[in-house]
Structure 1
């Protein structure tokens, strides 16, 4: 029997601000549940995101040079508490539970068992994980890899691995002969990594933390800041207190961009008010309506410029910038002029007058930041969404000057940095010639598999082995049912992890679970205590010091595990001194600097400074590293971001997958989504009340949800509770990753292959077949 997870379900409207006493109470509950209420966890949190402390293992938001006394948010603190739990998941636990039994446990209950302590190997006969010596594990994995075609082996990374571990890991994969280096950014911001280079010549944003104090307008598109990057609420609050407009577009009225009560402000906490109003304008856009909304704003800006020209007033367009720095404006202008307002209004769900109001506010601002999240990237035309935001900013010269720029809000703590140091399936993004010269091996030159292509390879049998450096891959990907069924046919499955998750319970023929240190823990190697580095979402590199005692004496660091796997698999095939690198991580940083001199000059001297150091992002200086050396206006091909969805069928809804404020990515901390008023369950479907009535449903009714993709593949999720919510008609929302089985692998961004999880065609089913 699996443990019980909830005792009651309560759903009510939540009208309180983000932060406030609700946030503090939530942290106290979490600390008590993990046995940390009096364990010193609070002093540990004081080291979070500080120059002499550790970088948060949760989101990748910027770390200031002059931090606040409490430089952590509710979700960042939950991540630390969850990571540093007193609970332990050792050999006794695995001896007591078969893998088949554990498959029936919810995700929360699996991770709740605590920190992994010993390397384990799956025994098919007993259907249990059993302890194994580190040396035997490394030897066996190396022998298995030596028997496989390297092109059939995937080396995956989640966003938590340090720059040092990531650099070593990708070298190991390439020496072995594999270019298959997908990572978690393939599932979220790859549309950014493809779209931004085409528009401005940079795969990352141009905004730095100090720009938030210099801007005079912010846009937010498709980002739930209060859940995924709560520390960003502080710069937004400061901007609002300066009277700066913040204009938000999101299908759901997320609390973080509605109201915020700062837990670090005693006066604000003790006042009876509702906190700071975070958005001057909040528009509930139809799911997938972002291209249409941005087209409307741009079209209205163009009309304002036309009026200025007629009257001899100053131009609204930054014509000098457009002429000197851009290409393609004429084609973009023609697109705006021929696109009718009727189509813009219908697709965006926002009235023309409202979009004209936004254009008027925009036309009067001189330094504008365009923030966005997966609400733009996780669509079939996600790359065009990114292009369109750049188009809007370029119209008024809002890229490459103080207080302005494009700001993709990345997710996991070092997901951007991993790509910087070589975690990429695309050979053109990696200095392969330098690797060959410096380390005396010939790296593979062909393109490797991204995340979706990995799933396709698992299903068709061309992927034979998977090594995961962190993450919960099987749970995070779309088409979960087909992927899980095919996963069991892998020859080799290796997971490097801190806690148990569902991916560990889908064994291949040979399966290993290798427990590692957390970034928060002290890492002692031959030359002494080591520290690592990470990159935040503003392209700033920071040092991170382990602070806590390791969860167990037999844990190894990620760099050590990577090095031992490499020694067991590719010994003698390169000049890399793996043991020397593990003994002193500064040696690894020296090598990163040697391979990437433009971004990591004086790496070891600079990364420990308060605030770290910024990479050399040329677009922030108006140097455009595009083929034509210009920033490019790129008109979209259509207003639809997801042409797969046939909304002409009255029973088809557009599903938007969301996270709760009690989770981070696939990690579920609990069942209390406080900011949406949902307590005790995650199996809900948030629906517009008119759709509930139209479809003959009622509040609290249990339904199933099935795919309406039209490809004759049955995809269904059972037991969802109909829940009225403020969401546009025709849209519905439910939690990730529970609803991932409804997303076809082919329903993905056309260029970037990001799963289109923010616009999934579905139908409600009220009479389910037997389960």
Structure 2
């Protein structure tokens, strides 16, 4: 069963973010997922103190929420989880896994919730039902026979703090720090860049800073799709005449205009709020150049102020008291030519000086960014450059100012807080040793890229996945899928079927779990969990609807089942007691992390959440120098890191309005006017003319890399779009086969999905699955 291949339908997208389009999206997803009428009231409890935390994005939950504190993306995620569609054992009697490989991402998940534990049967090429205890015992027996260093414990960003804490303890008691998570694929550049410059690995901004700011800088984050609830803060800022300056390759609707669905007047009159006061379409990979240009303009304004005897533009008092490395940074900026900056940024000196002028006149500035900064070869450098810009005027550690990385998954930041990390220096290993009386491993674990390299080399024996769609999310699709089939063991804890399940190891288990929105009944009664949002606030979350099936286990119960079957008994860890009462887990977390989680059981229900300590927000810098660090970029504008020839295009991957990460809710993208297909390529009209292409023509992309691997995606239909010249855009994850595994951010190893040099060719087929469209080259 494969989706009918059809010509993509293109319309002119002029609607604002929010508005009636958002209302229509919510109505459609509720109907499509057969969400019963009584459960539609769940949306009124979404992101409320007495309700549940959204399973989509991690944007902050206000203490005084709107009546409808959810967006269309969040409603889609809720409907997707609470759907009445389900997959039982009979489903796998009808289809082999080989047949299911031909299904699209949307088709696989759209069939509904997994309801019974399954084990792969090679003879029939199907998943067959297996008893929970049998599955745990067989998994445990396999893990006991492996080298612990050759097993990976991957975590998606949806798992609760309680589950994540148990999961990292399982991995370390088993004997490794192989704990990559979805941060490795998005904001690890943030974690590395901020840690070395301001001494913490997360942002410094809280919701109230949006009320106090007088300028917002926005870099590479599509708010209308990835975190629409933030549009409320942006709209309120604009109503106070706060300038919002945006740098992004595409003109995204959410950063152009917004109609607030919470406002009857705006809905009835179709009133729109213009979000960005300046919109600069930077070339992918040109972010360092943009910020270098703004800094250069700031120095020029400061020189003029000094010459005129006026107040300085640079906050020299802050710099002298709180920073280190300023002189070297200033020298590098002054030496950098405007010609090089303009060429790499794709923007004029005048445009960057205009943006810098607004910044210079503002007293409290927020630097907001997403994966448009982090998923580059120079992703860490992009983050540290934004820190440089903010430090120039003291815009960290005061009300209305700070740096604000916008996380995607609803608890990925929290997972790192409770110890999901491959870096032993970031985990409280001595405390875990004392608390649970075992010797934690001290060696560096595997990142996502490291894990993929080990899989391709056949150096990994087992992969345990706590949610997510790892195989679909990572680069190097073809080599990875071939190697994945050779893994001795794959175990996936999941709510829905995805490609990571139909492509499997030699021994494979699919363990269905309760979703966060479902009532979790354990020995001590109904349980609640906790999560952390993008602004470092902790929140409680209660299940609100009946489970999809009576035999489902919770994530903590599944982790405990694997742990008990794998590890030697430890009197200091009572897995059964933890599963029976999650309050016991939270007390253990409070012992391990007393500064953060002491009294979590009581504090998790604080309206708006409670914030973990953030030293940099108080201008306490936990760096080696004891000060915030100015850094000189390793690659200055003018280095040859943009496309190197007339035939090379720079591809950057994007998400659609109809998806959340690898979850595809529909094949439509209303913000870009694309309907019916995701196999499209957005292209500048001048580039289309140069290549002799018209709207709807079908092309293929091939990665420009001389490493012996032919990475290719076929069947992409051309869509004319306002894209910087020499650059093209395509959807993630369909374009993942074009990303070499080695093409990642220096220092953080985040796959560089936002800047891939490719060659465009006429396609040999009308529409080929992106997951099967490339192959190793043969001499």
TM-score bracket relative to the smaller structure: over 0.9
Correspondences of 1:162-241 after superposition (within 5 Å) = 162-241=160-239
Instruction: Give the 3-state SS of the residue equivalent to 1:353 in structure 2.
Output: helix
Inter-partner Cα distance in structure 1 for 2:728 and 2:5: 24
Other-structure match for 1:400: 397
Q: Is the 8 A contact 1:289 1:639 kept in 2?
A: no
Inter-partner Cα distance in structure 2 for 1:184 and 1:545: 24
Change (3 A) 1:767 1:371: closer
Inter-partner Cα distance in structure 2 for 1:750 and 1:576: 39
1:552 is aligned, of 549, 552, 560, to: 549
Correspondences of 1:408-419 after superposition (within 5 Å) = 408-419=405-416
> 563-572 or 703-712, which moves further after superposition?
703-712
Other-structure match for 1:589: 586
Other-structure match for 1:695: 691
- Displacement of 1:642: 9.4
Other-structure match for 1:707: 703
Other-structure match for 1:24: 23
Other-structure match for 1:507: 504
1:389 and 2:374 equivalent?
A: no
Other-structure match for 1:340: 337
Other-structure match for 2:14: 15
1:735 is aligned, of 713, 727, 731, to: 731
- Displacement of 1:648: 2.7
CA distances 1:70-97 after superposition (whole Å, capped 9, x unpaired): 0000101000011111100110101110
Other-structure match for 2:358: 361
Correspondences of 1:69-80 after superposition (within 5 Å) = 69-80=67-78
Instruction: Give the 3-state SS of the residue equivalent to 2:709 in structure 1.
Output: coil
Other-structure match for 2:127: 129
Query: How many pairs are equivalent?
Result: 767
Other-structure match for 1:495: 492
Instruction: Give the 3-state SS of the residue equivalent to 1:650 in structure 2.
Output: coil
- Displacement of 1:575: 2.0
Q: Is the 8 A contact 1:175 1:574 kept in 2?
A: no
CA distances 1:374-427 after superposition (whole Å, capped 9, x unpaired): 000000010000000000000000000011000000110000000000000000
The two structures, once aligned, show a CA RMSD in angstroms of 1.3
Other-structure match for 1:144: 142
CA distances 1:524-574 after superposition (whole Å, capped 9, x unpaired): 110111100000000000000000100000000000100111000003146
Inter-partner Cα distance in structure 1 for 2:593 and 2:641: 41
Change (3 A) 1:749 1:641: farther
Structure 1 unaligned residues grouped into runs of 5+: none
Other-structure match for 1:433: 430
Inter-partner Cα distance in structure 1 for 2:640 and 2:475: 18
- Displacement of 1:768: 3.3
Other-structure match for 1:296: 293
- Displacement of 1:35: 1.0
Inter-partner Cα distance in structure 2 for 1:542 and 1:643: 46
Instruction: Give the 3-state SS of the residue equivalent to 1:552 in structure 2.
Output: coil
Inter-partner Cα distance in structure 2 for 1:684 and 1:78: 23
Correspondences of 1:470-619 after superposition (within 5 Å) = 470-573=467-570, 575-619=572-616
Inter-partner Cα distance in structure 2 for 1:436 and 1:369: 40
Q: Is the 8 A contact 2:340 2:638 kept in 1?
A: no
Instruction: Give the 3-state SS of the residue equivalent to 2:173 in structure 1.
Output: helix
Other-structure match for 2:777: none
1:462 is aligned, of 437, 459, 464, to: 459
Q: Is the 8 A contact 1:385 1:641 kept in 2?
A: no
Q: Is the 8 A contact 1:381 1:641 kept in 2?
A: no
Inter-partner Cα distance in structure 1 for 2:680 and 2:6: 16
Change (3 A) 1:411 1:105: same
Inter-partner Cα distance in structure 1 for 2:5 and 2:503: 25
Correspondences of 1:639-718 after superposition (within 5 Å) = 639=636, 647-718=643-714
Correspondences of 1:233-312 after superposition (within 5 Å) = 233-273=231-271, 275-312=272-309
Q: Is the 8 A contact 1:686 1:725 kept in 2?
A: yes
Change (3 A) 1:281 1:212: same
Inter-partner Cα distance in structure 2 for 1:486 and 1:153: 15
Q: Is the 8 A contact 1:183 1:423 kept in 2?
A: yes
- Displacement of 1:42: 2.4
Q: Is the 8 A contact 1:380 1:641 kept in 2?
A: no
Change (3 A) 1:137 1:677: same
2:153 is aligned, of 146, 152, 155, to: 155
Inter-partner Cα distance in structure 2 for 1:665 and 1:211: 28
Inter-partner Cα distance in structure 2 for 1:694 and 1:32: 45
> 634-643 or 85-94, which moves further after superposition?
634-643
Inter-partner Cα distance in structure 2 for 1:719 and 1:41: 40
Structure 2 unaligned residues grouped into runs of 5+: 774-779
Instruction: Give the 3-state SS of the residue equivalent to 1:544 in structure 2.
Output: strand
- Displacement of 1:7: 6.4
Inter-partner Cα distance in structure 1 for 2:448 and 2:498: 19
Inter-partner Cα distance in structure 2 for 1:633 and 1:587: 43
Inter-partner Cα distance in structure 2 for 1:113 and 1:473: 20
Change (3 A) 1:5 1:574: farther
